[in-house]
Amino acid sequence: MSIIIIGAGPAGCEAAYRLAQSGEQVELIEKENETGGNLNNWYQLFPDRKSAKELNRLLRQNLNHPNIRVHLNCEPVKIIRENNSFSIDLNDGAQLQGEALLLTTGFRTFNARRKEEYGYGIYENVMTSVELENFLTNHQLQTSTGKKPERIGLIQCVGSRDEKICNFHCSKVCCITAVKQAVEIREILPDAEILCFYMDMRMFGPGYEELYREAQEKYNIRFIRGRLSEASENLSKQVMIKAEDTLVGKPIRMSLDLMILMVGMEPSEGTRQLATQLNLKLAPNGFLHTADPHYATNLTSTPGIFSAGCSTSPMNLTDTLTDARSAAIAIKEFLLSNRANTHKKH
């Protein structure tokens, strides 16, 4: 019997490959027509600006392993658990049998329309960080009226750390994403004024603080500590914003030619649906609950069902891939103990 992995984003791909390498058969289910998940929407990765395509290619190449079967355009319609096995019906009619289930259903980005005072979907020159990546891929950035933007603002914590939209958590990666994107914008627009509005700069990863410093020093990116309060549009379609410059201690207002919203992470639809379907416990932030935050990050509230990557919390790619490998080890241990017919409590 095999191991069934739901979601072929970076976590799903990496876990599939590691399990396959250890001799297990893997069924990898993906609802889209290609693997890679959210990574498909990204141009370059932080902090080293590695091409997202390149990493995606590597992860995809690993799936050619003879022990891995990939089911694209597939979603589980029925999951039944009998004793120590799972039986899953897919929407294409296939039926899969598995000894363990790994959920790598990941995150979705925050729907910026919900933060209505920022005017996303209403004001023409407001876009999300995800949409910006697409412009960066094409090395072109202009306003809705086709002008060269002279002042661009990147707004942190959109959909994160905000009780008003019921997301208390920090999405972790938006700070460094903003720094990376600011630098990339600078390369396209050498003369533009580029400002980041932040509450805290959470530069937790290796090379992050260094990139932040480089952004200030070499790329002349300005950082203003203050959360965006509201935005509006003026006659020339510029975005008028209000924030507090908390380090000066005064409200600040200005017009922006382009406003980029750094959208945070929320559990994906798949994560939510499966949690309900499988009756899994959720953490207060809505992501999957893990058995222990330090020692058992891949165990859900149900034995035999594992999780990895952003289905359990916002993570950067480094942590996602590490978590996937960790899940492979946890699953392997589970299988060995099962097969030895010794029942251990988790």
Chain residues in the site for another protein (CB under 8 A) = 113, 116-117, 120-124, 201, 213, 216-217, 220, 222-223, 225, 230, 232-235, 240, 245, 247-255
CB of 119 to another protein, least distance (A): 8
- Looking at the Cβ atoms of 75 and 124, the one nearer to another protein is 124
CB of 197 to another protein, least distance (A): 12
Tokens of residue 299, six digits: 């165990």
Q: Which amino acid is at 239?
A: V
CB of 251 to another protein, least distance (A): 4
d(CA 126, CA 142): 12
Q: Which amino acid is at 1?
A: M
CB 102 within 8 A of CB 3: yes
CB 3 within 8 A of CB 26: yes
CB 125 within 8 A of CB 113: no
- Looking at the Cβ atoms of 54 and 116, the one nearer to another protein is 116
CB of 260 to another protein, least distance (A): 17
- Looking at the Cβ atoms of 219 and 332, the one nearer to another protein is 219
CB of 121 to another protein, least distance (A): 4
d(CA 99, CA 263): 37
CB of 127 to another protein, least distance (A): 12
d(CA 225, CA 216): 14
Helix (H, G, I), strand (E, B) or coil at 200: coil
- Looking at the Cβ atoms of 253 and 294, the one nearer to another protein is 253
Q: Which amino acid is at 19?
A: L
CB of 215 to another protein, least distance (A): 10
CB of 238 to another protein, least distance (A): 9
Phi, psi (degrees; rounded to nearest 5) at 219: -100, 0
- Give the Cβ contact number of residue 340 at 10 Å: 9
- Looking at the Cβ atoms of 121 and 293, the one nearer to another protein is 121
- Looking at the Cβ atoms of 70 and 175, the one nearer to another protein is 175
CB 99 within 8 A of CB 83: no
Residue 201, classified by CB atoms within 10 Å of its CB into exposed (0-12), middle (13-18) or buried (19+), is middle
Q: Which residues contact 38 (CB under 8 A, 6 or more apart)?
A: 9, 106, 107, 109
Helix (H) or strand (E) holding 214: helix 208-217
- Looking at the Cβ atoms of 79 and 112, the one nearer to another protein is 112
Q: Got the DSSP string for 137-166?
A: HTT----TTSPPPSEEEEEEEETSSBGGGT
Q: Could you tell me how many helices (H) and strands (E) the chain has, helices first? A: 7, 17
CB of 252 to another protein, least distance (A): 4
List residues bridging with 70 in a β-sheet: 28
